[in-house]
Copies of this chain bind each other. A is one copy, B any other.
Amino acid sequence: MTTTQEKSANNGVNVDHLLGARDALSDAPEGAKFTWKATNEWVHGTHSESVVEEYFGLGDNQSHKSTFSFSADHPEVFAAEDNGATPVEFVLVGLASCLTAGVASVAQNRGIQLNSVKATIEGDMDILGILGADPEVRNGFNGIRVNYEIDADATDQEIEALVAQSQKRSAVFDVITNPTNVAVTVNG
């Protein structure tokens, strides 16, 4: 039995466009090949500045509406100047913002009105790894915890299903939970 349901939820995600893009790009898969980019320039000490401006997709070079700049640094407890968030905190921001965008998109697709979505994210790290003090300790996170507090016009079960589906389609969740090849070259 198929029913046509009026979806009155408005979370600000244009799901019709995304579903249309899914169909269009399935027929023309070259357009789905994106390259995301950033540039980074050392300032002083562990402080660097990154710029996000252009990317490639839909078969062409694309520009963001504006240029996004980010200072990164190490904190004072590492005897650094703390001129920006640490690199690992940028990863946490990427993960949380990816999952939240997914929650909003899935909720829109399911006709669920969101009222508020808040997340706290924590990543545990034993810095004996990055300090080179213990070869048994990894450099990265031992584990990451994300907790969502969501107020939506939906049951607890429906809200949990939103978050589960968001994880299933999240680019950053995949990058963190699965291995990705990184090729680093010098003066290439």
Contacts and interface: CB of A to CB of B under 8 A. Distances in A.
Interface string A6-37: 00000111100110011001100100111111
A112 interface: no
Contacts of A130: 169-171
Category for how many chain A residues contact B: 35 or more
27 contacts: A12-B45, A21-B78, A21-B79, A22-B128, A25-B133, A29-B134, A32-B127, A32-B131, A34-B124, A35-B124, A36-B86, A36-B141, A39-B96, A40-B118, A42-B104, A42-B114, A64-B85, A70-B70, A72-B97, A88-B94, A90-B97, A145-B185, A148-B185, A163-B186, A167-B182, A167-B184, A175-B176
